[in-house]
Amino acid sequence: MTQLAIRSALIGLLITLLVAPGHLMAADAGEAERLVERLQARLANCRDYQYRVTCYERRGERQEERSFRLYVKDGRLIRIQVLSGRGRGSEAVLNARGQVRARKGGVLKAFARTLSPDDRRVCSLRGTPFWDAVCHNFLRDLQGRLGRPGAFSQVTSVPDQPGQYLLFLQMPGGIRERYWIDSRAMHLLRGEVCEGDVLVQRFQIDDIRENVGLSDTFFSF
């Protein structure tokens, strides 16, 4: 093969790699941080937002599936309504005074009580309180993990889902995280966390609504 033919073949291979679906969007590790910043900037323009979450979690031998709806206003008022799984029908709020108020569903709905922030009833199976699960707080924590020593991250396109990014994060100790993001709307769509070969968390977000005009009283009971 002549040098010209070899050069042409290498150029063709390079072009194929650059345009192929799922290629790496950027070689520098900062691309993931910049993507998270774009998501945060998108949320900063929302006076209020809400969405439904369907999730699976595992802690040791225990496993749990739940679905719930989260409501957020001004990045500080937060409400959760449990739709299925543990605590079905119950609700809780983080109100303007920073108090956690909760009530059960059914006939006991009229009776609310103040709970400690570390009460397991307002936390997921893996110990995450509901206010840390809302997008702006979740993204803040994700951004922190991206900057930790030993963290490796990359952003790729999703071959079978045009218009989606896949953010991959690997942490020391064999923890791997993957998050799917709508590149047009700048919405977090779903995520997975594995410890070694074990799936310990999976969630999916849908029915996203923004700037519907939630009142402060909606976050108080």
How far apart (Å, rounded) are the C-alpha atoms in residues 70 and 122?
Answer: 13
Confidence of residue 176 (pLDDT cuts 50, 70, 90): very high
In a domain, 89, yes or no: yes
Q: Rg of the Cα trace of the chain?
A: 21
Q: What is the pLDDT of residues 82-94, one digit of tens each?
A: 999 999 999 999 9
Residue 121 lies in a domain: yes
Query: Per-residue pLDDT tens for 95-127?
Result: 999 999 999 976 556 789 999 999 999 999 999
Report the share of the chain in percent with pLDDT over 70. 85
| Inside any domain, residue 212 | yes
Question: Mean pLDDT throughout 180-202?
Answer: 97
Is the predicted pLDDT of residue 71 greater than 70, yes or no? Answer: yes
Q: Indicate the pairing of strand 152-157 with strand 48-59.
A: unpaired
Residue 18 within a domain: no
* Residue 8 in this model has a pLDDT that exceeds 60: no
> For the chain, how many structural domains are there in total?
1
Confidence of residue 28 (pLDDT cuts 50, 70, 90): low
Range of the domain at 160: 23-219
In degrees, rounded to 5, the angle at the alpha carbon of residue 168 between the alpha carbons of residues 36 and 65 is 90
Q: Taking 70 as the threshold, does the pLDDT of residue 23 lie above it?
A: no
142 is a domain residue:
yes
Residue 210 lies in a domain: yes
pLDDT in the model for residue 10: 40
Q: Considering the domain boundaries, does residue 8 fall inside one?
A: no
Q: Give the per-residue pLDDT at 24.
A: 43
Query: What confidence score (pLDDT) does residue 162 get?
Result: 86
Three-state SS across the chain? CCHHHHHHHHHHHHHHHHHCCCCECCCCCHHHHHHHHHHHHHHHCCCEEEEEEEEEEEECCEEEEEEEEEEEECCCEEEEEEEECCCCCCEEEECCCCCEEEECCHHHCCCEEEECCCCHHHECCCCCEHHHHCHHHHHHHHHHHHCCCCCEEEEEECCCCCCEEEEEEEECCCEEEEEEEECCCCEEEEEEEEECCEEEEEEEEEEEEECCCCCHHHHCC
In the predicted model, is pLDDT for residue 59 greater than 80?
yes
- CATH number for the domain spanning 39: value is 2.50.20.10
User: How far is CA 53 from each of CA 6, 15, 104, 134, 190, rounded to the nearest angstrom?
Assistant: 52, 40, 19, 10, 9
- Residue 57 in domain: yes
